[in-house]
Amino acid sequence: MSSARTLTPVNVLTGFLGSGKTTLLQRLLRSPRLDRTAVLINEFGEVGLDHLLVQRVDDAVVLLESGCICCTIRGDLTGALRGLLDRRDRVEIPAFDRVVIETTGLADPGPILYTLLNEPVLQHHFQLGNVITTVDAVNAALHLSKNPEGMKQVAAADHLLVTKTDLASDEQIAAVRAVLAQVNPSAHVRDAIDEPLDVDGLLDVRPPKSAPAFVPAGDAGATDTLHALRRHSQDISSFSLVLDEPLDWTAFGVWLSLLLHRYGDDVLRVKGILSVQGSAAPVFMNAVQHVVHPPQHLETWSTEDRRSRIVFITRGIDHGRLRRSLEAFCRLRVAELSVSA
Amino acid sequence: MCGLCGVFLTETSWSDASVGSVETGARTRRHERLHRVALANRVLKPFGSRLSDWNGVSYLVSGPTGQTSIVPSVASVWPVVEQLRKVRLDPLDEGLIEALERD
């Protein structure tokens, strides 16, 4: 079995059709950091990729018993990744130490993340890296309004790259950035056009040193574009919970598992830093729809404020009731149990 | 797989991960597991179902008429209870929240 040190990181690059995924991929692959990277792409665009390890992935999806679309094992992806492992072991392809998956423009990232975290073989060979989503500044309103997958791609992102800023007006760029900050305040937002491309920043998995900040959409111009974007994203909202008392992780796990069972399709993202009973170090947790990353201990708190902070991105869920529900679960008292060894 | 009972030894689900008190020695994994069962039972009580630990590797969901089902993690409990009891479990249901707040 592979140890945690030998797991190969996998980055998922997503974004709507024509939003600049392949252009970004080309720029990434020019970096020496990605010399030993295998690339899996769903669709070959007109822009050729001059890279040794490019393989096509088809779209077979195996639906699990639960019937939830985000809890599906992507059979095509499993086959492609297992194939890469086999061919690497047989020295048929150059050794690689990273995989980048470029999704189709219409892909829901949920099944891809679920496959990487839960497929029995893959979970012992790969670890999920950052999810990078490109957002076209010119056509964001159209993309995000017409396709629910567009919002899921934004919500799943660790990094949001705003593309085509050279073609967009200042008003359009400000509106897009405001809406992205509103929908996914836990992601890093940057302009793709920036040179040089911060490859290390995009690839390195760095749990936040402090809690993800909640950035309410500012009044970045009460513009038509902003109104259009907000109108189309009005049922999706993000909010931040700050909890004064350290959490009982077990109670939190029971609550979150039930919340995701009932509302997983509408809980697009849960990301936060938790103060947990019995642990001096903070715990980082991260979930995309039904797909929950293993909780991760961070080394230390980076600020004096040691309260739990959790950002939720939800669709049509009452924030106040969600908070009451969490607090009710976490205040449950059960008799301490006597356990014989 | 256990050769005697046929239980698959599955990977630990995130919902069964031990964070905090086990690492510091405040609780054993067994203790943590029973704590999880006790908490889940507080939620399941109004729905006539009960959860118990099964050999430290799985959980046993029981209905009032003796129906049982073995599940690998606490995250797997909820759909089984809904199927056994023909109920809808909703953590945001006002009645459930009020019942838990009264406890």
> ipTM of this model?
0.89
Q: Which two tokens stand for residue A208?
A: 């936040």
Whether A325 and A146 have beta carbons less than 8 Å apart is answered as: no
A284 at B interface, C-beta within 8 A? no
B56 at A interface, C-beta within 8 A? no
**What is residue A311's three-state secondary structure?**
strand
Whether A35 and A53 have beta carbons less than 8 Å apart is answered as: no
- A324 to B97: CB separation less than 8 angstroms, yes or no: yes
Residues of A in contact with B22 (CB under 8 A): 278
When pLDDT is cut at 50, 70 and 90, the band that residue A229 belongs to is: low
pLDDT at position B15: 79
Q: How many contacts does A have with B, using Cβ atoms within 8 A?
A: 119
Q: What angle do CA A36, A41, A46 make, to 5 degrees?
A: 110
Please determine, for residue A143, whether its predicted confidence score (pLDDT) is greater than 70: yes
- A258 to B78: CB separation less than 8 angstroms, yes or no: yes
A250 at B interface, C-beta within 8 A? yes
pLDDT at position A265: 84
pLDDT at position A2: 43
- More confidently predicted of A156 and B10: A156
Residues of chain A with CATH 3.40.50.300: 4-231
pTM summary value: 0.78
Helix (H) or strand (E) holding A133: strand A126-136
pLDDT at position A56: 57
Instruction: For strands A283-288 and A267-274, give the pairing.
Output: antiparallel
**What is residue A134's three-state secondary structure?**
strand
Q: Which two tokens stand for residue A203?
A: 């690839």
CA torsion A242-A247-A250-A256 (nearest 10°) is -10
**Across residues A61-65, what is the average pLDDT?**
49
**Percentage of chain A with pLDDT > 90?**
26
B61 at A interface, C-beta within 8 A? no
**Across residues A184-213, what is the average pLDDT?**
79
When pLDDT is cut at 50, 70 and 90, the band that residue A63 belongs to is: very low
**What is residue B100's three-state secondary structure?**
helix
AA identity, residue A298? L
A249 at B interface, C-beta within 8 A? yes
**Percentage of chain A with pLDDT > 70?**
79
B52 at A interface, C-beta within 8 A? no
Q: Which one of B8, B11, B16, B19 makes the best mutation probe of the A interface by having the most chain A beta carbons within 10 Å?
A: B19
Strand partners, A127: A9
Residues of B in contact with A270 (CB under 8 A): none
pLDDT at position A51: 55
Helix (H) or strand (E) holding A326: helix A319-330
Q: Which of A74-83, A106-115, A128-137, A170-179 has the highest mean pLDDT?
A: A128-137
pLDDT at position A299: 81
| Min Cα separation A277/chain B (Å) | 6
A329 at B interface, C-beta within 8 A? yes
Whether A28 and A49 have beta carbons less than 8 Å apart is answered as: no
Whether A262 and B82 have beta carbons less than 8 Å apart is answered as: no
**Across residues A32-44, what is the average pLDDT?**
81
Mean pLDDT over each residue of chain A, to the nearest integer? 81
B90 at A interface, C-beta within 8 A? yes
Residues of chain A with CATH 3.30.1220.10: 235-340
Of B26, B31, B100, the CB nearest to A328: B100
When pLDDT is cut at 50, 70 and 90, the band that residue A214 belongs to is: very low
B87 at A interface, C-beta within 8 A? no
B103 at A interface, C-beta within 8 A? yes
Max CA pair span of chain B: 45
pLDDT at position A220: 42
When pLDDT is cut at 50, 70 and 90, the band that residue A94 belongs to is: confident
- B19 to A295: CB separation less than 8 angstroms, yes or no: yes
Q: What is the pLDDT of residues A237-267, one digit of tens each?
A: 888 899 999 999 999 999 999 999 999 888 9
AA identity, residue A104? T
Instruction: Give CATH for domain A4-231.
Output: 3.40.50.300
pLDDT at position A233: 59
**Across residues A9-18, what is the average pLDDT?**
91
Strand partners, A55: A40
When pLDDT is cut at 50, 70 and 90, the band that residue A207 belongs to is: low
When pLDDT is cut at 50, 70 and 90, the band that residue A340 belongs to is: very low
- More confidently predicted of A231 and A192: A192
Whether A335 and B38 have beta carbons less than 8 Å apart is answered as: yes
Token pair 């020019």 is found at A30
| Min Cα separation A238/chain B (Å) | 17
CA torsion A72-A77-A83-A86 (nearest 10°) is -60
* Cα distance between residue A185 and residue A197, in whole Å: 22
Please determine, for residue A226, whether its predicted confidence score (pLDDT) is greater than 60: no
Strand partners, A242: A309
**What is residue A80's three-state secondary structure?**
helix
Residues of A in contact with B95 (CB under 8 A): none
| Min Cα separation A219/chain B (Å) | 32
Residues with Cβ within 8 Å of A276's Cβ and at least 6 positions away in sequence, in order, are: A246, A247, A248, A249, A282, A283, B19, B20
Fold of A235-340: Hypothetical Protein Yjia; Chain: A;domain 2 (3.30.1220)
**What is residue B22's three-state secondary structure?**
coil
One digit per residue, the tens of pLDDT, for chain B of length 103 reads 444 444 444 456 787 777 766 556 656 788 889 999 999 999 999 999 999 999 888 999 999 888 899 999 999 999 999 999 999 999 999 999 999 998 7
Residues of B in contact with A257 (CB under 8 A): 15, 73-75, 77-78
B17 Cα distance to chain centroid: 13
Whether A161 and A177 have beta carbons less than 8 Å apart is answered as: no
- More confidently predicted of A131 and A181: A131
